[in-house]
Structure 1
Amino acid sequence: MPSQPTLVFLHGFAESREIWTDFTRDFPAHYQILAPNFPGYGASDAPLVDDYSMEALGEFIKKELGRVGASQAVLVGHSMGGYAALAFAEKYPAQVAGLVLFHSSALPDDDSKKANRDKNISFVERHGVEKFMSTFIRPLFANTNEQTMMNERQQLEEMGINTPQASVLAGMQAMRDRPDRTDVLRKATFPVLFIVGKEDLAVTLETSLAQVALPPVSTALFLDSVGHLGFVERPTETRRAVLDFAASVFAK
């Protein structure tokens, strides 16, 4: 273990590290907080890369931990960030102290989701990122939050619009092609926390229920009136869940 317990916050598709700024602002100072931009996202130093696969993102996580000298960390992955964390955990399980799947899944895309990814890829190729984001972000909120969180919606849309088109296209392809990693959960030598929005259309309640019993040690937080964005839809509850989970992991 590093002298300072490390938490790594991994953003999702067409997001950036900025999704975690408010969420982690008041975390205790004894934690080392990493919230990197994946290559090709946000204000990354390497805005375009050749490989956007989950395996490549897993190697990026490995480099980030090496950069700060952390031998282990709790990984907190939102959506695509969770897919990348699972890829890392598959190859480097000893470096995972704990895993938080924040509206994320170890299951691959089914045929229906793959077809939808292909439709979205075609749409972006024809119409561009800005038009795509005007319809992509809204359904990520629960119905009850769609109108009350217009500022948050606008911020996420702007974040998506500022993502290079090459990253958007390659990111959708990488998510479409990712493998089944439920065995990573079954064989986990680390505890897993699932944060689940009951109105999440991207990672449905049913999808999460099928996985929460797979790890040897797991807990879950199920949230009413929350879609795919619990870090803005219910920040107090989700922040407390992550902090409690981290405290239990590093107390051992």
Structure 2
Amino acid sequence: MSALLAMTRHGPADGLPLVLLHAFPLDQTMWDGVLAELGDVPVCTLDAPGFGSSPPPRAVAESLGRALAPSLETYADAVAATLHDAGVSRAVVAGLSMGGYAVLALAERHRDLLAGVGLLDTRAEADDAAARANRLKVAELAAGPTGSGAVASMLTTVLGETTLQSRPDVVERLRAALAAAPPTGIQWGQVAMAERPNRLHVLPDLMVPALVLRGAEDKGSPQAAAEAMAERLGDVEVVVVPRAGHMSALEAPAEVAAALRRLYERCG
């Protein structure tokens, strides 16, 4: 099976593309609200290994000649291979949460691909022991009878308080997405994220325009983590989206799209 990930092009066919990498445990449809604001920008959205329409993680790793153990390095290599196959040698790449971890891995492994980077509701540091243990527990649950139910509790932790209290449509959309999350993808993603290294060191010499964005109500990616990345980047805009949590692209798509557009224009 091919290592190529499922990719969808949006907007104009020509021009430097903006590539968007989704959060765990969703798929590329997470970006639909953002895409509605970026109709004049060439955008590519991709599904991570084991999510959406992409091949299973094992098949991706085998096709790339990489070890089968879950890793964000494999994800980054697959993104690079997919874009190369599509004729994309340079792109502005932005990712939210797990997608941001993949952008950091791309910055370490495929720097020539990057014309700009967007790090949304993410962090460059590795997990601490407690967070790592929790990820591995969720992975174990997803591999058993619990399946997709292993991530059901994320509903109240990744959405901001404003969304939970006043945006029932967003709450229900995420509830449905969590219930539909593929157990294989959940297991792979949690182990890959648990094993990721600290990548703050890749940022100081990343000489491209950058965006660091977080929802003001994001409990998982605090302001200190955003500032740690921003202070190591040169040409960076820092954005805090009010009344949004960890899933800022779902909760405030217009604001996230506006920030991504500014990043894209800085890379032109």
User: TM above 0.5, one fold?
Assistant: yes
Match of 1:135 among 131, 139, 153: 153
Normalising by structure 1, report the TM-score. 0.90
Q: Map residues 168-187 of structure 1 onto 2, 5 A cutoff.
A: 168-187=186-205
Q: Distance in 2 between matches of 1:122 and 1:91?
A: 29
**What's the counterpart of residue 21 of structure 1?**
32
Deviation of the 1:68 alpha carbon: 2.1
Amino acid at match of 1:66: H
Deviation of the 1:3 alpha carbon: 5.5
Amino acid at match of 1:160: L
Q: Distance in 2 between matches of 1:48 and 1:208?
A: 29
**What's the counterpart of residue 160 of structure 1?**
178
Secondary structure in 2 matching 1:137: helix
Q: Distance in 1 between matches of 2:115 and 2:75?
A: 18
Structure 2 gaps of 5+ residues are 1-12, 62-67
**What's the counterpart of residue 42 of structure 1?**
52
Amino acid at match of 2:77: E
**What's the counterpart of residue 119 of structure 1?**
137
Q: Distance in 1 between matches of 2:260 and 2:229?
A: 19
Structure 1 gaps of 5+ residues are none
Q: Distance in 2 between matches of 1:233 and 1:17?
A: 15
Match of 1:81 among 86, 99, 115: 99
Q: Distance in 1 between matches of 2:119 and 2:172?
A: 25
Deviation of the 1:59 alpha carbon: 0.9
- The answer on whether the counterparts of 1:129 and 1:160 sit within 8 Å (CA) in structure 2 is no
Normalising by structure 2, report the TM-score. 0.85
Q: Distance in 2 between matches of 1:64 and 1:24?
A: 20
Larger displacement relative to structure 2 (33-42 or 147-156): 147-156
- The answer on whether the counterparts of 1:4 and 1:32 sit within 8 Å (CA) in structure 2 is yes
Offset from partner CA, 1:8-56 (integer Å, 9 cap, x none) = 0101111000011221124243x32110111210132x14525441101
**What's the counterpart of residue 17 of structure 2?**
6
Amino acid at match of 1:219: E
**What's the counterpart of residue 115 of structure 2?**
97
Larger displacement relative to structure 2 (96-105 or 110-119): 110-119
- How many pairs does the alignment contain? 247
Identity among equivalent pairs (%): 26
Say if 1:154 and 1:47 are closer, same or farther in 2 by CA, change over 3 A.
farther
